[in-house]
Amino acid sequence: MKYELYKEVALAVDVPEHHFKKGDIATVVDYLTAQDNGEPGLALEFFNTLGDTVEVLFLPESSVEPLAADEIWHARHFVETAEAA
């Protein structure tokens, strides 16, 4: 599925090494292709609830899913590193 640039998507998987969870919302900011297997990928920008960028990750397209009309936004505490806890 081709996701539109600058549209929100939801993670379809946990990304524990970056402290993101399935369902977290990100904005598509670029299209990429994995060098090792040619899988389509996305550059995803994650924001906190105040609109500040938390991180930009490069993930396979299969790691995200479109938002649906029957879903609601949810806030949770985010800790980037153990030092920030």
Going residue by residue through the chain (85 aa), what tens digit of pLDDT does each one get?
A: 689 999 999 999 999 999 999 999 999 999 998 777 888 999 999 999 999 999 999 999 999 999 999 999 888 998 765 444 4
Q: What is the dihedral of CA 49, 23, 81, 30, to 10 degrees?
A: -80
Q: 2.60.40, 1.10.260, 2.30.30, 3.40.50: which CATH number matches 1-65?
A: 2.30.30
Q: If you ran DSSP here, which 8-state letter would residue 84 be given?
A: G
Strand partners, 20: 15
